[in-house]
Structure formats: structure tokens, C-alpha cells
Amino acid sequence: MAEVLVYVDHVDGAVRKPTLELLTLARRIGEPVAVALGNGAADTAAALAEHGAVKVLTHEASEYADYLVVPKVDALQAAVAAVSPAAVLVPSSAEGKEIAARLALRIGSGIITDAVDLEAGDEGPVATQSVFAASFTTKSRISRGTPVITVKPNSAAVEAAPAAGSVEDLAVTFSEAATGTKVTGRTPRESTGRPELTEAAIVVSGGRGVNGAENFAIIEALADSLGAAVGASRAAVDAGWYPHTNQVGQTGKSVSPQLYIANGISGAIQHRAGMQTSKTIVAVNKDAEAPIFDLVDYGVVGDLFDVVPQLTQEINAING
């Protein structure tokens, strides 16, 4: 069976969930071969094998952390040359898309970004994308070269599918361009203990209606009662009430959880662009005319300072 390369997003060997989802999709097209780079690369093998990787190509080098994007492109290109895969799948992070794009150009292939689903087709994999702030769904395929496709988080279920996952060294020669952009400093983001926004099953967001940084405690309390991630609208972020890393929307994160709860958010097109594909949508807003109500499965017209604490209390009571 044809092999499908899957680029592994990991932190010091801990595989992030979107990569495991890619393995599910890769198995629809062929046999997944994973490519893990940088510090802890070999430590990814167990998790990847459990989810279907027949092989794990690894390479450790300081260049992956010390220089931006290009070393990873060099490595993925070496993997493509070694494996001649039927397709290359990369998680749709900002960096993932840049890596995939440069790879596609180098190997003379077309690229599809931000797929939300993937199926095998007669003429190669067919990718589903959600465009124009999720108001349209398109199906596309790549008409030239080895399909390179980036896939959004939460596009497939993580499935156990034990495979060999044998670790092999990948031989990589870095290009001259690899050391072009130096990373001179790095401040890791502090963990909040809450789930990752793009990976969470439930997201609870606050907007301008939250009216102050201190009031975000109400949003966080609701999130914690549900084990959810916290999101924010750009208005709340621009006001300095919540970090930009939590922004949901066109210029923030795009989320697709099972449940999205919007509090004090009007539902502007740029916000919708980042959350409209959520399975169930709930909103609390004091304005009955707010456009967010056009999207909801359940909406409460009311003051969030009354509704949200009551909801949190109720959930905590039910959960005991």
C-alpha cells in the first residue's frame, strides 16, 4: 500500500493531539509514515505507533530550534525523497502551513491548506475546506505532484490502530537557506492548566460584554466547571482583558469544538470565521438582536453577570 507522510507536531517528544488526528486521516489514504524532528523526536514513537504509524523517521539537530521554518522544510523534503509518498499531511498551525507551502513549491506540488476532512479519491485525496467564514464548503484536490495538505485540529477522531512504528534515522542535509532566520530568544508560554484552545472539546469565550479583565474570572469559572478552554473576542483582547493567544476568529485561533459558549460576544463575521464549525453553539447576550443568535442551538437573552454564575453553580451542583 502507498505510504503517507505525516509531519509530527510535538513538544520534547510529547505528541500533540492534531498529529494523532492526522494519523486517522492518513490511514484512509495509505500507510502512515511519521516524521518527527528536533529534541525528543524518538520519544514520539510509542504514541505514533499506537495510532497507526508503520514507521517513524526521526532526526535530532539543534537547527530545528535555533532557526525558523526552513530546517524543517529541508528535513521533510528529505523524507519525501526517501519515501516517495502518496501524500504529505501537516497540522494546520501557522508554522505547519509555512513548512507545507515551501515543501510543496520545492517538490513541484500543489498545496491545500486548512482542510477539515480528507477522503481517498480516484485521482488522489479529496480535501474538504470551509471558506468565507465557514459559509461555504469546498472540495478540492491537488492536480500536480505529491499532494501536500494541511489539516485543522478537530477534523477527525483520534483512533487507536496499533502498528509497528519502527524508528529509523532520517538523513538530512541542511540547505544554505536553513540558517537564514535565527531564533535569538524564546519565552515559552505559561501553561494555564486548561486544555489547549484549538484542541478542546468545549470552549467558553468572553467578549466586550465581559467588561473588564477582572470579570474574566466569571468566564474562567464556567470554563473550569466544564473542563473547557477559554477564548476571547478581538474586542476583549484589544482592550487588554485577555491574552491574544486566546483570541478566537480570523486573526486568532480557529476552533471547532463539540460545544462553544459565547458570552457577551456580538458575532461579527471575523469572530464567526473562527468558531462557526463548532458542533453545538450556545450564546448569552443581553441584546436579542445580536447576530450570534443566528448561529445558536440555544441562546439566552440576558445579562451575563446573572446568567453565567448561575449556570456555573448549576453545573457544579450537578457534577457534585
Partner 1 sequence: MRIVVIVKYVPDATGDRHFADDLTVDRDDVDGLLCELDEYAVEQALQISENSDDDVEITVLTVGPEDAKDALRKALSMGADKAIHVEDDDLHGTDAIGTSLVLAKAIEKAGFDLVVSGMASTDGTAGIVPALVAERLGVPQVTLLSEVSVEDGTVKGRRDGDAASEQLQASLPAVVSVTDQSGEARYPSFKGIMAAKKKPVESWDLSDLEIDAEEVGLAGAWTKVESAAERPARTAGTIVKDEGEGGKQLAAFLASQKFI
Ligand X SMILES: Cc1cc2nc3c(=O)[nH]c(=O)nc-3n(C[C@H](O)[C@H](O)[C@H](O)COP(=O)(O)OP(=O)(O)OC[C@H]3O[C@@H](n4cnc5c(N)ncnc54)[C@H](O)[C@@H]3O)c2cc1C
- Residue 105 touches which of partner 1, ligand X, none (CB < 5 to 8 A by kind)? partner 1
Q: What are phi and psi of 282, to 5 degrees?
A: -130, 140
C-alpha cell at 191: 501553561
Task: Please report, for residues 147, 155, 164, 165, the alpha-carbon distance to residue 229 in angstroms, rounded to integers and kept in the order given.
Answer: 33, 18, 34, 32
Please give the residues from 191 up to 250 whose contact with ligand X meets the rule CB under 6 A.
207-209, 233-236, 247-250
Provide the residue count of the chain: 320
Selected from 82, 106, 107, 305, the binder of ligand X by CB under 6 A is 305
Selected from 24, 215, 285, 312, the binder of ligand X by CB under 6 A is 285
- C-alpha 202/C-alpha 261 separation (Å) is 8
Selected from 141, 163, 192, 239, the binder of partner 1 by CB under 8 A is 141
Selected from 104, 115, 230, 236, the binder of partner 1 by CB under 8 A is 104
Per-residue interface string for the shown chain with partner 1, residues 151-170, x marking contact by CB under 8 A: --------------------
Q: Is 265 in the site for ligand X (CB under 6 A)?
A: yes
Task: Please report, for residues 167, 212, 279, the alpha-carbon distance to residue 25 in angstroms, rounded to integers and kept in the order given.
Answer: 21, 42, 20
Task: Please tell me whether 51 is known to bind a ligand.
Answer: no
DSSP-derived secondary structure letter, 8: P
The upper half-sphere exposure of residue 217, i.e. CA atoms within 13 Å in the direction of its Cβ, equals 2
Q: Is 80 in the site for ligand X (CB under 6 A)?
A: no
Please give the residues from 290 up to 319 whose contact with partner 1 meets the rule CB under 8 A.
293-303, 306-315, 318-319
Selected from 274, 281, 296, 311, the binder of ligand X by CB under 6 A is 274
Q: Are 147 and 88 in contact (CB under 8 A)?
A: yes
The upper half-sphere exposure of residue 173, i.e. CA atoms within 13 Å in the direction of its Cβ, equals 3
Pairing of strands 10-11, 3-7: unpaired
Q: Tell me which residue has its CB nearest to ligand X.
A: 249
Per-residue interface string for the shown chain with partner 1, residues 242-271, x marking contact by CB under 8 A: --xx----xx------xx---------xx-
Q: Is 88 in the site for partner 1 (CB under 8 A)?
A: no
- C-alpha 39/C-alpha 8 separation (Å) is 12
Binding positions: 208, 233-234, 247-251, 264-271, 285
